[in-house]
Amino acid sequence: MKLATIRHGATTTAAVAVNGGYLPLPARNLSELLGTPEWKHLVRVATSSHSSPDVIPRTEATLLNPVPAPAKVICCGLNYADHILEMGRDLPEYPTLFAKFADTLTDPDAEITSEHSQSLDWEAELAVIVGTTLRDADEAEAAAAIAGYTVANDVSMRDWQSRTLQWFQGKAFDATTPLGPVMVTPDELDPEAGVQVICTLNGEEVQRGNTMTLVFSCARLLSYISTFTTLRPGDVVLTGTPGGVGMGMVPQRFLRDGDLLRTEIPGIGTLTNTVRIRTRATIQSV
Q: Summarize as ranges the residues that interact with a second copy (CB under 8 A).
A: 71-72, 77-78, 92-99, 101-104, 115-116, 135-136, 157, 160, 163-169, 172-174, 216, 220, 223-224, 227-230, 284-286
Q: What is the DSSP letter of 200?
A: E
Q: Which is nearer to a second copy, 179 or 265 (CB)?
A: 179
Give CA–CA dist 108/14, Å, rounded. Answer: 15
DSSP letters of 231-280?
B-TT-EEE----S--GGGSSS-----TT-EEEEEETTTEEEEEEEEE--S
Q: Which is nearer to a second copy, 181 or 240 (CB)?
A: 240
DSSP letters of 152-195?
EE--EEHHHHTTSS-THHHH--TT-EEEEEEEE-TTT--TTT--
Contact between 268 and 149 under an 8 Å Cβ cutoff? The reply is yes
Q: Shortest gap between Cβ of 231 and a second copy (angstroms)?
A: 10
Q: Which is nearer to a second copy, 76 or 127 (CB)?
A: 76
Closest CA to 131 of 43, 211, 31: 31
Q: Shortest gap between Cβ of 224 and a second copy (angstroms)?
A: 5
Q: What angle do CA 26, 32, 37 make, to 5 degrees?
A: 85
Give CA–CA dist 171/163, Å, rounded. Answer: 12
Q: Shortest gap between Cβ of 199 and a second copy (angstroms)?
A: 23
Q: Shortest gap between Cβ of 164 and a second copy (angstroms)?
A: 4
Q: Which is nearer to a second copy, 135 or 256 (CB)?
A: 135
Q: Shortest gap between Cβ of 249 and a second copy (angstroms)?
A: 21
Q: Which is nearer to a second copy, 52 or 282 (CB)?
A: 282
What's the number of CA atoms in the CB half-sphere (13 Å) around residue 203? Answer: 0
Q: Which is nearer to a second copy, 54 or 115 (CB)?
A: 115
Please give the C-alpha separations between residue 232 and each of 12, 20, 34, 70, 200, in angstroms, as whole numbers.
23, 32, 9, 9, 32
Q: Shortest gap between Cβ of 169 and a second copy (angstroms)?
A: 5
